[in-house]
A and B are shown apart, each in its own frame.
Chain A
Amino acid sequence: MDIFIKIIYAAISILVATLYGLILIGIVHKIYARVHRRIGPPVWQPILDIIQTHGRKVATSHGIMFFLGPVFRMAGGMGTYLFMPVIFGSVVFSNYSMAGDLLLVMYFIFFGQLGMALGAGEGGHPYSPLGIARGLSQMSTFELPFSLAVISIAIQYQTLNITTIVAAQQGGMLNWTLFTNPLAVIAAMISLLGMNMHSPFSLVLAPQEIPIGPPIEMNGSFLGILQTNRALFASAKLVLFMNLFFGGATNLPIMMLKTFSIYMFSVFIGAAFPRFRPEQSFRFFLRIPTLIGILSVIVIAYL
């Protein structure tokens, strides 16, 4: 019986995270609009878009993998979200955090991309593999500083369990990883810029270069699933960063405040800078953030 209650709680948690992610994307549209001196769409516009895409009467599929691509992507987003505690100490929002650890979550971040790569490739449009090549290359490069940051905090807290990491940061702001291991946080936050794929690193969707890349052939409900996942995945990544570096959250408003602030970091940078070319982006991640990551591991291990 216990497992059923757990499943219901997980469903509630996913619903809240998805809605929160959608509103977050709406707020980002609004912020970008204000930067352009426009009024911008209402914040609930992403929700209307999802209803509209699911409401299409026709959906063209190109084969089984095309069908499964968005499903894998959604599984990646859900997996990332489900194996970490969203709110520390809460029963409803603890998800299945005890079942997994940091490495599993990191695997799920990559998993969705790989599934999408298989699915979008079957669409047959030349821009899909181009976007996937860019996406996977960029992902490999920004995972490097992120992995180094994770190694660093694993040495620091002597564990890979996210709940334990959050527990270790309780009891005041100065216990956050941000202050106890600043180098790891800097490396990870720079890799977050790549993960969120806002402007300097928006190589994958790049509407003016490779018209929206991998999902170019996705239509109707396929696109609806991808959009839902984008919201869920965005909140999952933010929650992960909040848990690892910013002390986690003990209630819902604190969680929303912290994740919103973390997201705004990449949004403001995105609104201010133009897009990198692929090779510029890859080189950027492999240089300074990676060096900072290595430094953080050395500092935490030997000093």
Chain B
Amino acid sequence: MKEKDIKIIEKEMKLANEGLPEMERDLFADDRPSRIEPLNKYLEQFLNWARARSLWILAYGTGCGAIELRPLMTARFDAFRYGIAGRPTPRQANVFIIGGYASLKTIKRIVRSYEQMQGPKYVIALGSCTINGGMYYDSYNTINRIDYYIPVDIYVTGCMPRPESLIAGFNGLKKKIQAGQCDGMNKYADNFDWYKANQKQIIKDWNMPDYNW
């Protein structure tokens, strides 16, 4: 079979949503995420310029690192002066900060929230425990590497990193966005099956659709 045909078949393949009860399956979407290419090179450069200056954080603290977000937004560090603002809903946010360790219960919510965010979307992994598990490396209840489950754009190491390092992380993210290197959305769509397999391996009570959008 030609590669083109395989792609068409893959595109037509619908998600099974096996975690849901049979009577509820019709209520949820069964489309796979697909790769979206930019319309025009120069338009994309302009949009990236604007995207780098308007970062909306999803207001969801996934671990102890979320405590660093309060001083980040208040008078001492004032991240809003760089165009970084909180957004209460995943539909509108475009930056997801994984604030430290992600327990098995949290990773389910992380996946749901990440998938509901509208691309282009960026992920900042905050703290050592998102990189290799940190002090929770042998815990039965936390995951060690976040980038097995969702694509990550920038890592901020430390335990806990101070707001200064988080701002440095944001500056790194801005540079990457402006250079057009943050393509987590398409990466997730391309390797969707791999990410799903990893997620399903650890989330035992999978009672949600396979792709939440």
Contact A217 B88 (CB under 8 A): no
Q: Inside 8 A of B136's CB, which chain A residues have their CB?
A: none
**Interface residue from A29, A36, A55, A220 paired with B75 (Cβ < 8 Å):** A36
Most buried by B among A33, A40, A42, A55: A55
Q: How far is the CA of A106 from the CA of B115 in the complex (A)?
A: 41
Q: Which of A44-52, A95-103, A176-184, A243-251 contacts B (4 or more CB under 8 A)?
A: A44-52
Contact pattern, B 77-118, Cβ under 8 Å of A = 1, otherwise 0: 010111101001101101000000000000000000000001
Q: Within 8 Å CB of B119, what residues of A?
A: 56-58
Cβ-neighbour of A39 out of B38, B54, B78, B85 (below 8 A): B78
Q: Is A139 an interface residue (CB 8 A)?
A: no
Q: A212 contacts which chain B residues (CB < 8 A)?
A: 88-89
If A40-B78, A51-B54 touch, whether A207 touches B89 (CB-CB below 8 Å) is no
Residues from chain B with Cβ under 8 Å of A42 in the complex: 81, 83
> Would B75 and A41 count as touching, CB distance under 8 A?
no
In this assembly, does B196 line the interface, its C-beta being within 8 Å of a C-beta of chain A?
A: no
* Chain B count of residues within 8 A CB distance of the other chain: 28
Q: Indicate whether A49 sits within 8 Å of B54 (C-beta atoms), given known contacts A207-B88, A223-B92.
A: yes
Chain B, 34-48, contact with A by CB distance < 8 Å: what is the 0/1 string?
A: 001010000000110
> How many contacts between A and B, using CB within 8 angstroms?
86
| Residue B50, interface by CB 8 Å | yes
B91–A60 contact, CB under 8 A?
A: yes
Q: Is B125 an interface residue (CB 8 A)?
A: no
> Interface on chain B toward A: helix, strand, loop, or mixed SS?
loop
- Check if A197 is an interface residue, CB within 8 A of chain B: no
Q: Distance in Å from the Cβ of A277 to the closest Cβ of chain B?
A: 19
B213 at the A/B interface (Cβ < 8 Å)? yes
Q: Which residues of the other chain, A, contact B92 by a CB distance below 8 angstroms?
A: 53, 218-219, 223
A219 and B54 contact, CB distance less than 8 A: no
Partner of B36, one of A37, A58, A223: A58
Inter-chain contact B118/A58, CB cutoff 8 Å: yes
Would you call A11 an interface residue if the criterion is a C-beta within 8 Å of the partner chain's C-beta atoms? no
Answer whether residue B139 sits at the interface, using C-beta atoms and an 8 A cutoff.
Answer: no
Within 8 A of B (CB), among A60-85: 60
Residues of A within 8 Å of B88, CB to CB, are 207, 211-212, 216
CB pair B80–A38 under 8 Å, yes or no, is: yes
- Select which of B53, B91, B213 is within 8 A of A216 by beta carbon: B91
Is A59 an interface residue when CB atoms closer than 8 A count as contact?
Answer: yes
Contacts of A53 in B (CB 8 A): 92
Q: Quick check: A217 and B53 within 8 Å, CB to CB? A: no
Establish whether residues B80 and A219, one from each chain, have CB atoms under 8 Å apart when the complex forms.
no
Chain A contacts for B185, CB-based, 8 A: 57-58
One of A41, A216, A217, A219 near B83 (C-beta < 8 A)? A41
Q: Nearest-CB distance from B174 to chain A (Å)?
A: 12
**Pair B51/A52 contact, Cβ less than 8 Å:** yes
CA distance A51 to B47 in the complex (A): 7
Whether B191 is near chain A, meaning CB under 8 Å from some CB there, is no
Known A39-B78, A40-B80, A41-B83; judge A55-B51 contact (CB<8 A): yes
Give the distance in Å from the alpha carbon of A49 to the alpha carbon of B92 in the complex: 11
Q: How far is the CB of A303 from chain B (nearest CB, A)?
A: 50
What are 27 A-B interface contacts by the 8 Å CB criterion?
A: A36-B75, A38-B74, A38-B80, A38-B81, A40-B80, A41-B82, A48-B53, A49-B83, A51-B47, A52-B50, A52-B51, A52-B53, A53-B92, A55-B120, A56-B94, A56-B119, A57-B36, A57-B119, A58-B36, A58-B119, A58-B185, A59-B118, A211-B59, A212-B88, A216-B89, A216-B91, A219-B91
Show the binding face of A for B, using Cβ within 8 Å: 29, 33, 36-42, 45, 48-49, 51-53, 55-60, 207, 211-212, 216-220, 223
